[in-house]
Structure 1
Amino acid sequence: MPRQAAAAAPRLLNATLKDKTFVVDAVTGEQRAALDGSGWRCRHDARSLVLCSRYGYATAERGITVFDAASVQKRWALPDGSGRKVPKVNGLWHGAVYREVGDEPIVLDGMTGRDRQTAAGAASYEIDRYGGVVGSKFSRAAG
């Protein structure tokens, strides 16, 4: 039986079964994607992307995969063989991935995975069309 089922996007759920995390169509039950390992958390950017991430202590336990929400086609993933570190993802909003590398907040372009803002000032957790919150500090949204 799947564990840790959670909403990933409209019509999509993610759940762990054994050592895999699945993205499933909530209406038809069809498996749309599978990610190796447990502990992936998927979220929707309230527009067109689904980002699944996991962040463990060991480098091998970290990853990010971004899908198109409608087709569930993979757009990009980390690690990608480039040597780029897999960051901790804090939030996702309208194509902007808010993340931290060490203590440095950075914003990635959700469509490409490329850096959008390297001096973001904050990597927000709670985000809407106006901005996001980190602790008690508000920052304008980049997406």
Structure 2
Amino acid sequence: MTNGKARATMPPGMRAMSCTYDRGQTLVCTYGFAVVAVDADTGTLLWALKDGEGNRKPPTVTAVWHGRVYGRGVGGPVVLDARTGTDMPTKPEAAPLLVNEYAGLALDDNRLFSYPAGG
């Protein structure tokens, strides 16, 4: 927003969701048992994972950064493509709480670990 006008409005029913900008082009929103991605420029819904719909449970999102959604799924840590919601090809070692271009910070058994950022 450079002129004070909103670029887009959130899709109906998403105003109560907590959203995080991936510092790229996507807002990733969570509410209860749902994870939803929206294009940051247009407000267009990109994908949604909702508990009870389909054969996959949505992960608990822990961080969002540059096109990636980090979280904890049923089988452990997961990384999703922020634009499509599909699994990234490399299985992560942890579900970081904070991510930047250098590292991801993860908490495990009350101990803080740092993992080098990749890709």
Shorter chain as denominator, the TM-score bin is 0.7 to 0.9
* From 68, 86, 93, the counterpart of 1:96: 68
Say which structure is richer in strand: 1
Q: In the alignment, which residue of structure 1 is the partner of 2:23?
A: 46
Q: Within 5 Å, give how 1:6-85 maps onto structure 2.
A: 11=1, 27-28=4-5, 32-34=9-11, 36=13, 40-55=17-32, 62-79=33-50, 81-85=53-57
Which gives a bigger RCO, structure 1 or 2 (Cα 8 Å, sep 6+)?
Answer: 2
TM-score (norm 2): 0.79
TM-score (norm 1): 0.67
Structure 1 residues 35 and 130, CA gap change in structure 2 (3 angstroms): farther
How many pairs are equivalent? Answer: 112
Any gaps of 5 or more consecutive residues in structure 2?
Answer: none
Whichever residue aligns with residue 28 of structure 2, its letter is L
* CA deviation string 1:10-32 (max 9, x = no partner): x5xxxxxxxxxxxxxxx436870
Same amino acid, percent of matched pairs: 29
Q: Which runs of 5+ in 1 are unaligned?
A: 1-10, 12-26, 56-61
Query: Counterpart of 1:113 in 2: which secondary structure?
Result: coil
